[in-house]
Amino acid sequence: MSLQFIIDGNNIINHAQFTRINKRIKNRRLALLDLIKIKKLTGSHKNQATVVFDGYPQDFYSPNGKAAGIDVIFSRHQTADERINKIAEQAKQPLNTVVVSDDRQIRLFAKSLRCRVMAVEEFILPKKNRAPGREGEGLIKPELNYTQIHKINEELGRIWLK
C-alpha cells in the first residue's frame, strides 16, 4: 500500500521550524525538496509526493514536473489551496492520501474526503525532535500550530495593550 502525499509547499517554507533550519538558504523551495528527499519524509520510495506552491515558477528550474523524484506543481492563476483541494478530490484512494498542511480549511476539506492529514511540524521534524505529547495529533484532530499561535498572540497584544 503506497501513500500519496499532497504537500502545501508555501505552508512549509514559511513555517517557523523550517525557516529556523534553513536560515541562510536563498531558494527555500529547492531546500524543501532536498529535505523531503534526503530525510525521506514521505517514508518509502514507493510513496508519491506532490508539492504545491502558489503562483508561477519564477526562480525554479522545473516549472511543473518532477524535481528530485517529487512532483512539483505551481498553482498559477488559482491559489495553492484550491489546487491542493482539487488534487485531494481527484485522489483514487483517499484513505491512502496524506495532505500535509497547517491550513485549517485544507485540513477540514481533506478530512471530509476521508484523506489523512498531517501537520507541518509533524512532517518536517523527526519524532525525537517534536514537542512531547504531540505525536500523531495531526492524524487525529486539528490543533493550532506555532504560526497560528503567534498570530493570535500578536492580535491579542494589539487589542489588550492599546
Higher pLDDT, 23 or 7: 7
Please give the full DSSP string across 77-120, using - where no structure is assigned: TS-HHHHHHHHHHT-S-GGGEEEE---HHHHHHHHHTT-EEE-H
Residue 132, pLDDT above cutoff 60: no
- Pick 28 or 99 by higher pLDDT: 99
Q: What is the pLDDT of residue 118?
A: 96
Is the pLDDT reported for residue 36 higher than 60?
A: yes
Per-residue pLDDT for 141 more than 90? Answer: no
For residue 156, pLDDT over 50 is answered with yes
Q: Cα–Cα–Cα angle for 92, 99, 16, nearest 5°?
A: 165
pLDDT at 128: 54
Give the pLDDT band of residue 105 (cuts 50, 70, 90).
very high
The whole-number average pLDDT for the span 93-121 is 96
C-alpha cell of residue 92: 483514487
Q: Which domains does the chain have, with CATH numbers?
A: 4-160 (3.40.50)
Looking at the chain, the whole-number percentage of residues with pLDDT higher than 90 is 44
- Between the alpha carbon of residue 110 and those of residues 31, 54, 61, 106, 130, the distances in Å are 26, 19, 30, 6, 24
